[in-house]
Amino acid sequence: MERVFCHIDSKKDDIVDFTKKLIFIPTVNPPGENYERIVKILERRLKALGLTTKRYLTPPHVLKKYKIKNGSPRITLIARWNVGAKKTLHINGHYDVVPATSNWKTDPFKPVIKDGKLYGRGAEDMKSDIACMLFAVEALKSQGMTPKVNIEFSFVPDEETGGETGLGYIINKGIVNPDYALGEGYWKDYVSIGNKGVLWLEIEVKGRSCHGSSPHKGINAFEKMVDVANAIKNLKARISKRKTKYAALDKRDRYATLVIGGEMKGGLKVNVVPDKATFTIDRRILPEESLDKAEEEIRNVITRLKKRDRSLKVNTRIITKDIPVVVDNKTILNAMGRAINKIFKKRPKFAVQPGGTDLRFFIKKGIPAVGYGPYGGSKFHADDEYVFIDSLPKTTKVFAQFIMNLN
């Protein structure tokens, strides 16, 4: 492995250049642009490594189900290195990126190096990860190292819009069914082993419209909505005291959360009593919590309000919901833990992410999966996204060591 690590160090500039090459392609989602261009580059690289490749297109009926109407064809690229092992490690990366805002100081798709950082949309999430994954396998092959597991890659679209039309599709169809998986996650000595669950609700409060000069003739939906929102806010105060036993990169992410009013609608005109008002709820659920009980808590608050106010009319609509997921498989955790310790000389911290990644598709299928990557500044889609250049060879070494640790 020391030869492998030396080889990776010698390839540092190549890893940076390949990351830049990927950033140059604006795979912005939505709507999902330039997918064919980036797949060609990745396919060429994988074939150069001696891997067999195959493309899969997400069919129109699946796209329609998840309301994907525009953009490129949704292409998933699969590549395999079959070493004749009984088990397979699947290495996953998504190639789409979120849109860039107007606040960028540089062109987000013309990568810039400054003060040891590589700036560009996708630099940290997750085109540098993809480069490190590929160069880890390249390093092993160059030094004649054969892992004890088969290696299977997938590079997928649409993670930034939920993943159902990318990795979710190929897993649900059984196109891939590995024994272990590696994907996007935390960095340095933090390893992602799952994520919180999510419950998004739309709360619609109905009233009765009338002219603003005679408000007594109507029922003000906005005022009723404020009553509901205040009751949910009281629930939030109780929920926010709940804390997971798992680590998190930011200690504040260990707590359950509830956000009120991410989206709000209602009202037609300044002199009209509103007959309808809506707001959303974003509830993030700890691994120790139940998704069903989290939903029930919110509905119970509304039910109690209705009993006190017979004129209150509320409709609750689920926008999306997903269970929390956590991995406790000792084989994969030990393999990644030893790799972290080898490169960083630190004891690994196994952490739960506050937001979901594509890894949840593996975990929900019972496939042990961990997330890891280079470190930088872009989590939750910050402007001026960057990755530390020195983290690229270190992450590549972690990936290579992790691969060799698995059996």
pLDDT digits (tens, 9 = 90+) for 156-165: 999 999 999 9
State how far the alpha carbon of 18 is from the alpha carbons of 22, 109, 150, 236, 311, in Å: 6, 14, 24, 45, 62
Task: Answer for the pair 342, 399: CB distance below 8 angstroms, yes or no.
Answer: no
pLDDT at 204: 98
Structure tokens, 49: 């490594």
Distance (Å, rounded) from C-alpha 174 to C-alpha 177?
6
Summarised one tens digit per residue, pLDDT across range 226-272 is 999 999 999 999 999 999 999 998 999 999 999 999 999 999 999 99
DSSP three-state, residue 46: helix
pLDDT at 129: 98
**Cβ-count burial 25-40 (b if 16+ within 10 Å, e if not):** bbbbbeebbbbeebbe
pLDDT at 382: 65
Task: Answer for the pair 406, 14: CB distance below 8 angstroms, yes or no.
Answer: no
Query: Taking Cα atoms as reference points, which of 376, 375, 382, 327 lies closest to residue 351?
Result: 327
Structure tokens, 223: 């005022």
Query: Taking Cα atoms as reference points, which of 242, 262, 265 lies closest to residue 252?
Result: 242
Structure tokens, 121: 């949309």
Structural domains for the chain: 2-195+324-405 (3.40.630.10), 197-322 (3.30.70.360)
| Residue carrying structure tokens 């292409």 | 75
Please determine, for residue 72, whether its predicted confidence score (pLDDT) is greater than 70: yes
Distance (Å, rounded) from C-alpha 255 to C-alpha 209?
41
pLDDT at 102: 86
Summarised one tens digit per residue, pLDDT across range 184-200 is 999 999 999 999 999 99
Summarised one tens digit per residue, pLDDT across range 362-407 is 999 999 999 999 999 864 456 789 999 999 999 999 999 999 999 9
Task: Answer for the pair 111, 23: CB distance below 8 angstroms, yes or no.
Answer: yes
Summarised one tens digit per residue, pLDDT across range 321-332 is 999 999 999 999
Distance (Å, rounded) from C-alpha 191 to C-alpha 205?
42
H/E element, 292: helix 291-308
% pLDDT > 70, the chain: 99
pLDDT at 52: 97
State how far the alpha carbon of 376 is from the alpha carbons of 119, 352, 402, in Å: 9, 18, 21
pLDDT at 142: 98
Summarised one tens digit per residue, pLDDT across range 2-56 is 999 999 999 999 999 999 999 999 999 999 999 999 999 999 999 999 999 999 9
Structure tokens, 402: 């992790």
pLDDT at 378: 62
H/E element, 344: helix 330-344
